[in-house]
């Protein structure tokens, strides 16, 4: 059985390849971010990352953040969101809950207060439907801070919102008038 440390390493590798740099192992993503499972396994192994279909299924099924998804026939795979490359995830605009949350570290707070939430090198700003998840996201980067986002008000003001396969809310940006700071 593969160790949790190895699973974490492979998961990070898959995030890198499927969200940012597929060319690292010589694969291509289609317009919706999908790639062939067999080719991904072959090229990952050629790159030195031990991967088989059972390990890949385990990662997709057990990843707490549901970062990856298979198609219905399990022969294609993609990252659920967080891409820095231009792909179309095929999500449709949806009415968000009244409030969403964005977790960050204390060191980013002033920049966000100055400019709002920006997608920067990603395709979208990521928002959580619960404060606990936002705190966990913020903790990955230091002492957490959570911004409360008035998402329904944004939606009513014609901002688009999408929800990824793993439940992360996505939008292009959040101007400062739509949030307030809550310390995590």
Looking at the structure of the chain, the number of domains it has is 2
Residues 122 and 179 in one domain: yes
Q: Which of 79, 114, 144 is the last residue of a domain?
A: 79
Is residue 184's pLDDT more than 50? no
Residues 42 and 72 in one domain: yes
- Residue reference for tokens 């002492």: 143
Residues 125 and 70 in one domain: no
In a domain, 89, yes or no: no
Residues 74 and 115 in one domain: no
Is residue 31's pLDDT more than 50? yes
Q: Identify the CATH number of the domain in which residue 47 sits.
A: 1.10.10.970
Distance CA 65, CA 37 (A): 20
Residues 161, 152 contacting (CB under 8 angstroms):
no
Question: In which domain, by residue range, is 122 found?
Answer: 100-183
Q: Which of 46, 79, 112 is the last residue of a domain?
A: 79
pLDDT in tens, 85-127: 888 877 889 999 999 999 999 999 999 999 999 988 777 899 9
Q: Which residue, among 184, 100, 102, has the nearest Cα to 143 in the 3D structure?
A: 184
In a domain, 127, yes or no: yes
pLDDT in tens, 153-169: 999 999 999 998 778 89
In a domain, 135, yes or no: yes
pLDDT in tens, 42-64: 999 999 999 999 999 999 998 87
């Amino acid at each position: 059985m593969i160790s949790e440390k190895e699973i974490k390493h492979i998961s990070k590798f898959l995030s890198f390849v499927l969200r940012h740099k597929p060319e690292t192992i010589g694969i291509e993503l289609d317009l919706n971010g999908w790639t062939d499972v067999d080719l991904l396994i072959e090229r990952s192994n050629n790159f030195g990352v031990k991967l088989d279909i059972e390990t890949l299924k385990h990662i997709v099924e057990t990843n707490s953040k549901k970062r990856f998804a298979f198609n219905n026939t399990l022969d294609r795979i993609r990252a659920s969101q967080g891409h820095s490359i231009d792909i179309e995830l095929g999500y449709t605009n949806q009415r968000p809950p009244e409030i969403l949350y964005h977790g960050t570290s204390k060191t980013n707070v002033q920049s966000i207060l100055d400019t709002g939430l920006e997608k920067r090198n990603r395709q979208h700003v990521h928002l959580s439907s619960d404060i606990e998840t936002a705190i966990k996201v913020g903790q990955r980067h230091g002492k957490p801070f959570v911004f409360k986002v008035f998402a329904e008000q944004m939606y009513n003001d014609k901002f688009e919102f999408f929800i990824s396969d793993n439940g992360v809310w996505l939008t292009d940006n959040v101007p400062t008038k739509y949030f307030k700071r809550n310390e995590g």
